[in-house]
Chains A and B, each alone.
Chain A
Amino acid sequence: MAIDILMPALSPTMEEGKLAKWSKKVGDVVKSGDVIAEIETDKATMEVEAVDEGEIVEILVPEGTEGVKVNAVIARIAGEGSSAKPAPAPEAASAPAPAAAPATVAAAPVAVVVAADPAIPAGTAYVPMTVREALREAMAEEMRSDGDVFIMGEEVAEYQGAYKITQGLLQEFGPRRVVDTPITEHGFAGIAVGAAFGGLKPIVEFMTFNFAMQAIDHIINSAAKTLYMSGGQMGCSIVFRGPNGAAARVGAQHSQDYAAWYSQIPGLKVVMPYTAADAKGLLKAAIRDPNPVIFLENEILYGQTFDVPKLDDFVLPIGKARIHKPGKDVTIVSFGIGMTYAVKAAAELAGLGIDAEVIDLRTIRPMDLPTVIESVKKTGRLVTIEEGWPQGSVGDYIANRVSREAFDYLDAPVITIAGKDVPMPYAANLEKLALPTVAEVVEAVRAVTYR
Chain B
Amino acid sequence: MAVRPQAEKRTRAPAAAKAGAKPSKAQQNPVNYQVADFSKDEELKAYHDMLLIRRFEEKAGQLYGMGLIGGFCHLYIGQEAVVVGIQMCLREGADQNTTSYRDHGHMLACGMDPKGVMAELTGRKGGYSKGKGGSMHMFSKEKQFFGGHGIVGAQVPIGAGLALANQYRGNDNVSVVYFGDGAANQGQVYETFNMAQLWKLPVIFVIENNRYAMGTSVSRASAQTDFAKRGDAFNIPAEQVDGMDVRAVKAAAERATEWCRTGNGPYILEVQTYRYRGHSMSDPAKYRSKDEVQKMRDERDPIEQVRKRLIDNGWATEDDLKAVDKDVRAVVTEAADFASSDPEPDVSELWTDILI
Contact = CB atoms under 8 A, between A and B. Distances in A.
Interface majority SS (helix, strand, loop, mixed), chain A: loop
Interface in A248-300: 248-254
A244 B51 CA distance: 39
B170 interface: no
B115 to A, nearest CB: 13
Given A8-B62, A249-B134, A425-B131, A32 B354 contact: no
B182 interface: yes
Nearest to B284: A44
B29 interface: no
Interface in A85-116: 85, 88, 91-92, 94-96, 98-100
Nearest to A159: B215
Interface majority SS (helix, strand, loop, mixed), chain B: loop
Contacts of A32: 54-55, 58
Interface in B303-336: 326, 329-330, 333, 336
Contacts, number: 200
A95 B221 contact: no
A30 B326 CA distance: 16
Interface in B239-290: 276, 278, 281-282, 284, 286-287
Interface stretch (B10-18, B67-75, B201-209, B227-235): B67-75
Interface string A312-325: 00000000000000
B216 A98 contact: no
Contacts of B329: 85
Instruction: Give the one of B120, B130, B329, B354 with max A CB within 10 A.
Output: B329
Interface string A424-446: 01111110011000000000000
A167 interface: no
B347 interface: yes
A46 B336 CA distance: 24
Nearest to A97: B67
Nearest to A40: B284
Nearest to A6: B66
A250 B123 CA distance: 11
B185 A183 contact: yes
Chain B interface residue bracket vs A: 35 or more
A232 interface: no
Chain A interface residue bracket vs B: 35 or more
A253 B201 CA distance: 28
A83 B182 CA distance: 43
Contact of A433 (B64, B133, B221, B347): B347
Contacts of B340: 91-92, 94-95
Given A91-B337, A94-B341, A158-B215, A183 B153 contact: yes
Given A43-B284, A184-B185, A426 B71 contact: yes
A431 to B, nearest CB: 8
Contacts of B21: none
B136 interface: yes
B142 interface: no
Contacts of B153: 183
Contacts of B149: 253
A12 interface: yes
Contacts of B129: 426
Interface in B142-158: 149-153
Given A32-B58, A159-B216, A427-B123, 17 more contacts: A46-B284, A71-B66, A92-B68, A94-B340, A158-B216, A180-B220, A183-B153, A183-B182, A183-B183, A183-B186, A251-B134, A251-B150, A420-B351, A423-B354, A426-B71, A426-B120, A430-B350
Minimum-distance CB pairs A-B, first 5? A8-B65, A426-B134, A249-B70, A44-B284, A249-B71
18 contacts: A8-B61, A33-B276, A51-B62, A88-B62, A91-B337, A211-B151, A214-B186, A248-B71, A251-B72, A253-B150, A422-B354, A425-B132, A426-B123, A426-B135, A426-B137, A427-B123, A427-B131, A430-B344
Interface of B: 54-55, 58-59, 61-62, 64-68, 70-72, 77, 120, 122-124, 129-137, 149-153, 182-183, 185-187, 213-216, 220-222, 276, 278, 281-282, 284, 286-287, 297, 326, 329-330, 333, 336-337, 340-341, 343-345, 347, 349-351, 354
